A = this chain, B = another copy of it.
Amino acid sequence: MVERNVDVAELVARARAGEARAVGRLISLVESDSPVLRTVAAALVPHVGRAQVVGLTGPPGVGKSTSTSALVAALRAQHLRVGVLAVDPSSPFSGGALLGDRVRMQEHATDSGVFIRSMASRGHLGGLSAAVPQALRVLDAAGCDAVIIETVGVGQAEFEIASLADTTVLLLAPGLGDGIQAAKAGILEIADVLVVNKADRDGADQLARDLRHMQSLGGHSVEENAVAAAWRVPIRKTIATTGEGVAEVVAAISDHYAWLQGSAELATRRQRRAAVEIEAIALGHVRARLARVHDSAALAAAAADVVAGRTDPYSAADTILQAG
């Protein structure tokens, strides 16, 4: 239910003042197909670009939502405003200000410095929902210092999340057999910070050693950069349930952001992110246009011309595209 006569400028002002309801309304608007979406996108322009976007990914069972909650707590301890987008590839549902089933998240539910939003990940085209980058922009404009996008690491989703993030944190844990798997899938290469969670469990040290060994073999730990010193991907150990080691992860994330800002890499990543986003929107427009063509009188007329031998299908397609 999206009203047409919404005062977008007022909503943006209220969101920037920290009003969670306004933030939620704006995200709902960018998730909708309403024309208001464009008004919102335009209204956000002067206010975006400040937030550090942190992608948090890793295999199921690694402790992602617990880690997200611990990260939020650590960031809040620094009086930073934090946004969380929990992207769930398995859920077709979206919306809601709170993740009811995430008990650990509830401790932040009443904190006015935290905005939490659950989103269905899949757009109708199968890729990451086009609304995710827009929701990011809303949280950015709302004055968040950091926005965490959390996703279940299944298939393509973690790569898509990484493409949206300034900093990608990959969570692993002992006993999941994911260390080697992750390396195989190329996922290690997109990580800016590696975290071994459940560090109190057997195998945690071994997993950290394995990761370090893989780094030394594959050269994954070093990103060459012409301008700045290379970034060495740090490996941190945490017990997210107790908060142990989380401050060090926050520090690593912060270090990475400082490195990004001091190098050309931040501009490169954001440029790439914007290009991906623009392309996705353009593709969506074109698909919508072709869908309209499908039942159009223009197509019927062009087909009739082809059948009657007045034109060929290629010229007819040109006519259709020009008319659309």
Number of copies of this kind of chain in the complex: 2
A interface, by DSSP: helix, strand, loop or mixed? helix
Q: Nearest Cβ distance between residue A119 and chain B, in whole angstroms?
A: 17
A120 near B: Cβ within 8 Å? no
Of A21-29, A121-129, A149-157, A285-293, the one contacting chain B is A285-293
Which residues from 276 to 324 on chain A have a C-beta closer than 8 Å to any C-beta of chain B? 277-279, 281-283, 285-286, 290, 293-294, 299-300, 302-304, 306-307, 309-318, 320-321
The interface bits of chain A over 46-68 (1 if a CB of B lies within 8 angstroms of the residue's CB, else 0) are 10110000000000000000000
Question: With a CB–CB cut-off of 8 A, which chain B residues contact A282?
Answer: 290, 293, 317, 320-321
Of A10-18, A91-99, A267-275, the one contacting chain B is A267-275
Question: With a CB–CB cut-off of 8 A, which chain B residues contact A313?
Answer: 41, 133-134, 274, 277-278, 281
A37 near B: Cβ within 8 Å? yes
What's the Cα separation between A267 and B309 when bound, in Å?
A: 13
The answer, among B37, B283, B312, for a CB contact under 8 Å with A41, is B312
Q: Are B279 and A290 interface neighbours, CB within 8 A?
A: yes
A44 near B: Cβ within 8 Å? yes
Q: Nearest Cβ distance between residue A318 and chain B, in whole angstroms?
A: 8
What's the Cα separation between A46 and B311 when bound, in Å?
A: 9
Which 9 pairs from chain A and chain B are nearest by CB? A274-B303, A281-B317, A275-B303, A41-B312, A274-B306, A282-B317, A278-B316, A270-B307, A277-B313
Query: Footprint of B on A, CB under 8 Å?
Result: 37-38, 41-42, 44-46, 48-49, 133-134, 267, 270-272, 274-275, 277-279, 281-283, 285-286, 290, 293-294, 299-300, 302-304, 306-307, 309-318, 320-321
